[in-house]
Amino acid sequence: MKAFIKIFRFFPPETAHHLALLSLKILNKVKLLKLFLPTIKDFDNPKEYFNLKFRNTLGVAAGLDKNGDYVDELELLGFGFIELGTVTPKPQEGNQKPRVFRYLNQQAVVNRLGFNNKGVEHLVSKIKNKKYDAVIGVNIGANKESTNDQRIDDYAYCFEKVYKYCDYVTVNISSPNTPKLRKLHNPDELEKIFKRINEIKSTNQIDIPIFLKISPDESEETILKITNIYETLEINGLIVSNTSIEKDILEGCSHEGGISGRPLFKKSNQLLKRIHESDKDIFLIGVGGVFTKEDYRNKLKLGASLVQIYTGFILEGPAIIKNILLK
């Protein structure tokens, strides 16, 4: 697997991403993928939250498999849970390429993808008839051309489409690459989103957990407002955090977009710690800059019940799962 990772780095980042996932799919189809992997049972460390049985507490963050095209392969790698998306009501191309940039010497990636995805109908078609041992979440967003209350409609539409076929749903208001999306951190806007979602839950008599993915760049005042209305809005957990647009955390950053990877670790941890110390009852999923077992444990110590990886997986490959869960 290490040889593949080195070869993929000769390609542009977005091309390398697709080639890596396609390689996993091909290996799986010819029944060779398992030869490269430890037995999944070796990763077992089951936890139960919200009546969901997580086979371990390491998951893959949204963004890796936006469309549900590679769930079988990601599950075989041993993740305890897999978050798909971000998915929007209508398919969209995302922002102009190139839009992903590596900073390998700092273990970082900058992206300005802009919710490129095949649309919610495609994602549903990929997961609706399948059963997985891993917990499956779907991360939902708004289309770029949607404005004001149209964005509220987008979240409600996606939620209604996916809730039957996944184990939890994440509301993503924190991508920096869709204009003005982060303004949805405003409590009045959040109230609109979750009022609609909770109405759908009530009408259909469902109790699926709903998480909110937040930005690490928001003010303390904004974060405090969110934690204060957390229970009122019936939010089940916070995912901390999305990428950062603060260039100061990445030396020599010359690209616009969200910074992920090692430079995000400290900033996301500070937010994780702040929220946990303000209210220890808030269920937290930690994400941002996890590359090692120590990083993973650090998130848990700071209050996370579950941990997700993304950039670490992209740069290190599937071996990172074994290194975190087995060493």
Question: One-letter amino acid identity for 137?
Answer: G
Residue 146 known to be catalytic: no
Q: Do the beta carbons of residue 325 and residue 41 sit within 8 Å?
A: no
Task: Tell how far CA 8 is from the center of its chain.
Answer: 22
CA distance 58 to 112: 25
CA distance 144 to 92: 8
Question: One-letter amino acid identity for 303?
Answer: G
Q: How many CA atoms lie within 13 A of 284 on its CB side?
A: 27
Active-site residue, selected from the candidate residues 146, 175, 244, 268: 175
Q: How many residues are given for the chain?
A: 327
Specify the residue for token string 């409590």.
187
In sequence order, the 6+-apart residues with CB closer than 8 A to the CB of 298 are 269
Pairing of strands 284-287, 306-309: parallel
Buried b (16+ CB within 10 A) or exposed e, 98-119: ebbbbbeebbbbbbbbbbbbbb
Which residues form the catalytic set? 175
